[in-house]
């Protein structure tokens, strides 16, 4: 065998990073805790290794160990992290370096760089992008400030900034989430590291932006030949960009192997369970997700909807909702801008059904749900609610009728951490709606609360506990129980699972489904996650820039998306199915969220609303210039 | 920016007008102010010269006019017996208690007050910030506990008590009198190099005494703020870049934690004048505090009114300064919006 052939064969080449028997301990007041337990894996040169697991599985701690930026109470208590820097004659054991030593400072940000999940909080709001990015280069290379700025501009341009020169002077809050993450990537790559650690780099981003960022990382990897350690809980992302996969659970490796092995032939029950818990597009009509830990509820089985008159038509209807916001402009002299957040939105929610509202951040979906709640007054249009006595305009309700409406429509919030008062016990949280509406005696309330807790699968012993002692999924179930306290007819769910882990997400989605069939609830389900909406909704409305661009029963929508925006959105969702890879080339265009840039007949010029056109039963799309259409 | 400043200046003027009215009428409210007492006394003497003086005083200060006219004359918005002559024109009025113009009574005291308290503020920041950084970065270490402990003692000790103790022991051990702001022999002398040296050496004890409580509370607040910021993601980013710990700390979390203190400047400035009254009394510092106290007790209306107005102006100007500084150091405020 010739020598160069030998080099080409991967197994023969030493890996860039090899972790052997790594153990990390946390020392806390309540005792020691082993976050990473005897971890062993390799990161080969130029490849992408995905570290997969739920939160608390130790994947982030592993990444922090490689950079030695562990929290103060954590310590590497065993094992080695051999870093085989091609620029150095011999491998270094990172685990034995001093965290604040010179050698570690050289590696950190220089040879090994890291990007984080939250691009907003990862950048300092007080310093310009240019300052923060060039700083990384100034630390590691002996260059002048001017040269560093020059290089920063180049790397920003490479990371896809439309106007890199201006970006130098921008502050992070002036940029969109996608651009912020691009700035983070630029900051990590300006020193040309050999290893990039990406900790959930796209979790906080919209799907189309996620696809673009993943594409960028892939491209840059091909260009520079660096290795990537990708930390994620999204199996769809893993299937699309990883070469090798390591699955972690409670600090240990459950399964490791090439992407093919893992997805085609998952061996370990944990991995199989994880794969089953993720909503996919290709699911059968009545297939149920299988959460890793199923929640049992006795009350749910014989719960039923209260006897009350049912409306003839849809229970909730929105007609021509429109809302404009006036934004203060950035500079002292600038004129205030008008932003049309919602443009003529029509929605209709039948009894006992789920309407999914999908769109990317800033598309106006939350504004719509606020207007339905009567928390925000629309500029035009009306919301009609029918409690069985005929539709009534929600904005004309007063006194008793309004109180009744408030009881009938309840809200489930996105963030289970900030939506529960940390100083109230579970009992107080769940009885608060009853106390506000003055329902029942204390004894009756107590009974009701016990029943509610059982309905969402929580133990009655939790009544005296405070929210902080619950996990994210349990808290979200508390939020659902609180929303159910007043026996509502409609639940507005604003991204109820987007802050949760996949395994817990399946739990909460199933609970919502069960509650709906038991109690005859109607849901408006707002989400940016298409697969989740596909799993739970009956009808789906796709929103973009304040317009509903397409609305259809879910089977139709996913089988036959017509609007270019819907198509782009669907194409951007990474599927944990190796046979349905993302079409990155198609997603690079970035023209699909601009109504004036859509091809005819979908193009909507500025200042126009366009009209909805029904192309098959229940399937409506928005087209521009109705007059031109009719003439043609 | 200019528009913003103009708007702010207009609001400031309105605020000050309202405050001045409040100050004037509240001082006027209870019967028996210094001037009426004086006039009663003069009249009771029942001799023509005294009555003539009483009449003169009544005319001079417009006591025969309704209160609102007296107010307008005081602030200088209406011609009094001497034409327009009020606060707006720089005529601060007459102190009856001292029988001197207010400007002469307050004069030096005002600048000395500012000097003492500015020194105290500097002392607070110079001592508190390094200690706070130390104890925040080494949370729950021995040093942190020690700083916390001393901080609590500083918070709990009344500063006048400390002043008394220092006064006694300095005299006993070193035979130095630390009362006053300069040696007694310089009183009334013009400012010479000798006098300034004496002033500086006398400044040390009041600075420490006045500053101690502030230092303690500043350490606590700065430490808490910094601890919040140290947990933030951008600090981890800075460290992941390879930035050294000290540099990363000063550039990112420390700067973020400064905002509340800049916002505090508005409260700090008036405190410079009206704070530390007790300490000034105990150490017999020639500052405004004791003067204000006696002016209020004797209802020496123009003197009290002027000092209160001065404090009000400092407050409003302080707020403006802190707003401008905040906008300068924090782009999120400068640009409006932003999360």
Task: Render B131-173 in DSSP notation, one character per residue.
Answer: HHHHHHHTTTSHHHHHHHHHHHHHHHS-HHHHHHHHHHHIIII
Chain B contact residues (CB < 8 Å to A): 1, 3-4, 139, 232-234, 236-245, 251-252, 255-256, 329-332, 335-339
Residues of chain A whose pLDDT is less than 70?
1-12, 327-337, 589-591, 625-632
- Nearest residue on chain B to A124, judged by CA atoms? B234
Q: From CA B243, how far away is CA B222, in angstroms rounded? A: 23
Tell me the nearest-neighbour CA distance from B325 into chain A, angstroms: 14
3-state class (DSSP) for residue B115: helix
Residues of chain B whose pLDDT is less than 50?
337-339
Nearest CB among B233, B330, B331 relative to A118 is that of: B233
Q: From CA A215, how far away is CA A221, in angstroms rounded? A: 10
Question: Could B234 and A174 be called an inter-chain contact, meaning their C-beta atoms sit closer than 8 Å?
Answer: no
Look at the block and give the residue holding tokens 């001017």.
A146
Q: What is the ipTM of this complex?
A: 0.75
Task: Note the pLDDT of residue A355.
Answer: 94
Nearest CB among A109, A116, A124 relative to B242 is that of: A109
Closest CA to B199 of B110, B123, B121, B112: B112
CB atoms within 10 A of CB A460: 11
3-state class (DSSP) for residue A39: strand
pTM of the model: 0.79
Chain A neighbors of B1, CB-CB under 8 A: 332-333
Chain A neighbors of B5, CB-CB under 8 A: none
Q: From CA A553, how far away is CA A556, in angstroms rounded? A: 5
Task: Note the pLDDT of residue A609.
Answer: 77
Nearest CB among B237, B251, B336 relative to A116 is that of: B237
Tell me the nearest-neighbour CA distance from B330 into chain A, angstroms: 6
Closest CA to A252 of A431, A406, A35, A458: A35
Chain A neighbors of B234, CB-CB under 8 A: 121-125
Tell me the nearest-neighbour CA distance from A556 into chain B, angstroms: 39
Question: Could A69 and B244 be called an inter-chain contact, meaning their C-beta atoms sit closer than 8 Å?
Answer: no
Nearest CB among B234, B242, B251 relative to A123 is that of: B234
With the C-alpha atoms ordered B313, B318, B321, B323, is the resulting torsion angle positive or negative?
A: negative
Chain B neighbors of A174, CB-CB under 8 A: 335, 338
Nearest CB among A114, A126, A329 relative to B331 is that of: A126
Question: Could B236 and A116 be called an inter-chain contact, meaning their C-beta atoms sit closer than 8 Å?
Answer: yes
Task: Note the pLDDT of residue A159.
Answer: 86
* CA angle, B298 then B304 then B305, to 5°: 135
Chain A neighbors of B330, CB-CB under 8 A: 125-126
Question: Could B336 and A127 be called an inter-chain contact, meaning their C-beta atoms sit closer than 8 Å?
Answer: no
Mutation pick from B226, B234, B249, B323 vs chain A, by most beta carbons of A within 10 Å, is B234
Nearest CB among A109, A121, A331 relative to B240 is that of: A109
Rounded to the nearest 10°, the torsion over CA A430, A435, A439, A444 is 50
Mutation pick from B5, B8, B242, B245 vs chain A, by most beta carbons of A within 10 Å, is B242
* CA angle, A471 then A477 then A482, to 5°: 125
What burial letters (b/e) apply to B284-313, b meaning 16+ CB within 10 Å?
ebbbbbbbbbebeebbbbbbbbbbbbbbbb
Question: Could A187 and B241 be called an inter-chain contact, meaning their C-beta atoms sit closer than 8 Å?
Answer: yes
Tell me the nearest-neighbour CA distance from A237 into chain B, angstroms: 23
- Nearest residue on chain A to B335, judged by CA atoms? A330
Chain A neighbors of B329, CB-CB under 8 A: 126
In contact, A364 and A342? CB cutoff 8 Å:
yes
For B244, phi then psi, to 5°, come to: -65, 155
Look at the block and give the residue holding tokens 């020691």.
A32
3-state class (DSSP) for residue B185: helix
Question: Could B237 and A123 be called an inter-chain contact, meaning their C-beta atoms sit closer than 8 Å?
Answer: yes
Task: Note the pLDDT of residue A67.
Answer: 92
Helix axis angle, B102-137 to B265-274, nearest 10°: 130
| A17: Cβ contacts below 8 Å, ≥ 6 apart | A42, A43, A66, A81, A82, A83, A84, A195, A227, A229
Tell me the nearest-neighbour CA distance from A502 into chain B, angstroms: 23
Look at the block and give the residue holding tokens 């604040």.
A100
3-state class (DSSP) for residue B257: coil
- Nearest residue on chain B to A189, judged by CA atoms? B241
3-state class (DSSP) for residue A453: helix
| A176: Cβ contacts below 8 Å, ≥ 6 apart | A209
Question: Could B239 and A106 be called an inter-chain contact, meaning their C-beta atoms sit closer than 8 Å?
Answer: no
Question: Could B338 and A173 be called an inter-chain contact, meaning their C-beta atoms sit closer than 8 Å?
Answer: yes
Task: Note the pLDDT of residue A589.
Answer: 65
Tell me the nearest-neighbour CA distance from B214 into chain A, angstroms: 28
Question: Could B240 and A67 be called an inter-chain contact, meaning their C-beta atoms sit closer than 8 Å?
Answer: yes
Task: Note the pLDDT of residue A137.
Answer: 93
- Nearest residue on chain A to B233, judged by CA atoms? A122
- Nearest residue on chain A to B239, judged by CA atoms? A69
Tell me the nearest-neighbour CA distance from B243 into chain A, angstroms: 7
- Nearest residue on chain A to B232, judged by CA atoms? A121
Task: Note the pLDDT of residue A336.
Answer: 62
Chain A contact residues (CB < 8 Å to B): 67, 69, 72, 100, 105-110, 113-114, 116, 118, 120-127, 135-136, 139-140, 171, 173-174, 184, 187, 327-333
Question: Could A124 and B256 be called an inter-chain contact, meaning their C-beta atoms sit closer than 8 Å?
Answer: yes
Task: Note the pLDDT of residue A153.
Answer: 93
Q: From CA B167, how far away is CA B34, in angstroms rounded? A: 34
Nearest CB among B3, B139, B332 relative to A173 is that of: B332
Task: Note the pLDDT of residue A337.
Answer: 67
Distance in angstroms between the alpha carbons of the first and the last residue of chain B: 21
Task: Note the pLDDT of residue A632.
Answer: 42
In contact, A468 and A482? CB cutoff 8 Å:
no
- Nearest residue on chain A to B248, judged by CA atoms? A135
Structure token digits, residue B313 = 């102006």
Question: Could A171 and B338 be called an inter-chain contact, meaning their C-beta atoms sit closer than 8 Å?
Answer: yes
Question: Could B234 and A113 be called an inter-chain contact, meaning their C-beta atoms sit closer than 8 Å?
Answer: no
Question: Could A330 and B336 be called an inter-chain contact, meaning their C-beta atoms sit closer than 8 Å?
Answer: yes
Chain B neighbors of A121, CB-CB under 8 A: 232-234
Chain A neighbors of B245, CB-CB under 8 A: 100
Question: Could A332 and B256 be called an inter-chain contact, meaning their C-beta atoms sit closer than 8 Å?
Answer: no
Question: Could B243 and A174 be called an inter-chain contact, meaning their C-beta atoms sit closer than 8 Å?
Answer: no
Nearest CB among A105, A135, A328 relative to B336 is that of: A328
- B202 burial type by CB count under 10 A (0-12 exposed, 13-18 middle, 19+ buried): buried
The residues with which A527 forms a beta bridge, in sequence order, are A358
DSSP secondary structure letter of residue B120: H
Task: Note the pLDDT of residue A9.
Answer: 44
Task: Note the pLDDT of residue B275.
Answer: 63
């Amino acid at each position: 065998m010739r020598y160069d052939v030998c080099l080409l064969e991967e197994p023969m080449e030493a890996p860039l990073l090899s972790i052997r028997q790594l153990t990390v301990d946390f020392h806390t007041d309540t005792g020691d805790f082993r976050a990473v337990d005897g971890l062993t894996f390799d990161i080969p040169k130029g490849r992408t290794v995905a570290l997969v697991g739920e939160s608390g599985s130790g994947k982030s701690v592993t990444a922090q160990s490689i950079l030695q930026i562990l929290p103060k109470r954590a310590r590497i208590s065993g094992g080695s992290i051999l870093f085989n820097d091609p620029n150095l004659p011999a491998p270094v054991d990172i685990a034995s370096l001093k965290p604040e030593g010179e050698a570690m400072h050289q590696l950190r940000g220089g040879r090994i760089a890291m990007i984080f999940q939250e691009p907003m909080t990862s950048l300092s709001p007080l310093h310009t992008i240019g300052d923060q990015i060039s700083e990384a280069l100034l630390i590691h290379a002996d260059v002048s400030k001017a040269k560093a700025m020059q290089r920063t501009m180049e790397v920003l341009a490479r990371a896809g900034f439309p106007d890199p020169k201006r970006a130098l002077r921008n502050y992070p809050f002036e940029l969109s989430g996608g651009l912020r993450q691009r700035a983070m990537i630029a900051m990590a790559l300006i020193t040309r590291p050999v290893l990039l650690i990406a900790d959930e780099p796209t979790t906080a981003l919209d799907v189309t932006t996620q696809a673009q960022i993943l594409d960028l990382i892939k491209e840059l990897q091909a260009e520079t030949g660096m290795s990537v350690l990708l930390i994620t809980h999204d199996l769809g992302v893993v299937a699309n960009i990883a070469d090798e996969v390591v699955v972690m659970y409670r600090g240990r490796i459950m399964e490791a192997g090439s992407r093919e092995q893992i997805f085609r032939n998952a061996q370990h029950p944990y991995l199989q369970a994880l794969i089953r818990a993720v909503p996919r597009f290709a699911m059968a009509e009545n297939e149920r997700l299988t959460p890793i830990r199923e929640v049992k509820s006795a009350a749910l089985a014989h719960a039923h909807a209260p006897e009350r008159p049912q409306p003839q038509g849809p229970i909730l209807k929105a007609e021509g909702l429109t809302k404009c916001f006036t934004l203060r402009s950035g500079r002292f002299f600038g004129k205030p801008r008008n932003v049309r957040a919602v443009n003529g939105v029509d929605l209709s929610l039948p009894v006992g059904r789920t309407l999914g509202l999908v769109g990317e951040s800033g598309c106006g979906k939350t504004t719509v749900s606020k207007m339905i709640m009567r928390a925000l007054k629309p500029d035009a249009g009306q919301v009609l609610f029918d409690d069985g006595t005929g539709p009534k305009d929600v904005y004309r309700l007063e006194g008793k009728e309004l109180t009744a409406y408030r009881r009938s429509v309840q809200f489930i919030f996105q963030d289970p951490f900030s939506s529960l008062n940390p100083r109230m016990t579970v009992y107080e949280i769940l009885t608060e709606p009853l106390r506000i509406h003055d329902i029942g005696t204390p004894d009756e309330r107590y009974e009701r609360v016990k029943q509610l807790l059982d309905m969402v699968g929580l133990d009655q012993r939790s009544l005296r506990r405070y929210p902080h002692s619950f996990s994210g999924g349990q808290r979200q179930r508390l939020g659902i129980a609180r929303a159910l306290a007043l026996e509502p007819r409609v639940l507005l769910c604003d991204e109820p699972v987007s802050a949760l882990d996949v395994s817990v997400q399946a739990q909460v989605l199933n609970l919502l489904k069960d509650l709906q069939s038991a109690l005859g609830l109607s849901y408006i389900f707002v989400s940016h996650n298409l697969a989740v909406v596909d799993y739970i909704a009956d009808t789906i409305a796709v929103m973009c820039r304040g317009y509903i661009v397409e609305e259809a029963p879910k089977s139709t929508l996913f089988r036959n998306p017509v609007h270019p925006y819907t198509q782009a959105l669907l194409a951007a969702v990474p599927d944990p199915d190796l046979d349905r890879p993302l079409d990155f080339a198609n997603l690079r265009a970035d023209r699909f969220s601009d109504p004036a840039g859509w091809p005819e007949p979908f193009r909507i010029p500025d200042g126009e609303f366009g009209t909805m056109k029904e192309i098959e039963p229940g399937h409506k799309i928005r087209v521009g210039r109705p007059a031109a259409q009719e003439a043609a | 920016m200019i528009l913003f400043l103009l708007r702010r200046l207009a609001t400031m003027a309105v605020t000050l007008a309202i405050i001045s009215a409040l100050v004037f009428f509240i001082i006027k409210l209870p019967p028996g102010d210094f001037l009426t007492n004086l006039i009663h006394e003069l009249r009771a003497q029942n001799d023509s010269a005294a009555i003539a003086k009483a009449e003169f005083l009544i005319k001079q200060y417009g006591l025969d006019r309704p209160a609102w006219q007296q107010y307008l004359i005081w602030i200088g918005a209406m011609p009094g017996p001497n034409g327009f002559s009020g606060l707006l024109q720089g005529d601060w009025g007459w102190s009856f208690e001292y029988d001197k113009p207010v400007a002469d009574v307050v004069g030096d005291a005002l600048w000395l007050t500012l000097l003492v308290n500015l020194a105290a503020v500097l002392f607070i920041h110079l001592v508190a910030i390094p200690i706070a950084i130390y104890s925040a970065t080494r949370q729950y270490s021995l040093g942190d506990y020690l700083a916390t402990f001393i901080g609590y003692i500083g918070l709990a000790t009344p500063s006048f008590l400390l002043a008394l103790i220092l006064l006694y022991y300095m005299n006993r051990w070193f035979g130095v009198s630390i009362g006053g702001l300069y040696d007694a022999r310089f009183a009334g002398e013009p400012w010479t190099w000798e006098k300034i040296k004496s002033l500086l050496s006398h400044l040390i004890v009041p600075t420490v005494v006045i500053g101690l409580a502030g230092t303690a509370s500043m350490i606590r607040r700065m430490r808490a703020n910094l601890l919040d910021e140290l947990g933030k993601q951008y600090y981890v980013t800075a460290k992941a870049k390879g930035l050294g710990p000290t540099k990363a700390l000063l550039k990112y979390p420390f700067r973020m934690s400064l905002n509340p203190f800049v916002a505090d400047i508005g409260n700090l400035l008036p405190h410079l004048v009206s704070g530390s009254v007790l300490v000034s009394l105990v150490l017999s510092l020639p500052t405004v505090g004791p003067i204000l106290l006696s002016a209020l007790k004797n209802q020496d209306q123009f003197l009290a009114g002027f000092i209160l107005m001065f404090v009000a102006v400092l407050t409003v100007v302080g707020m403006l300064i802190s707003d401008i500084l905040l906008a300068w150091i924090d782009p999120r405020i400068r640009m409006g919006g932003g999360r």
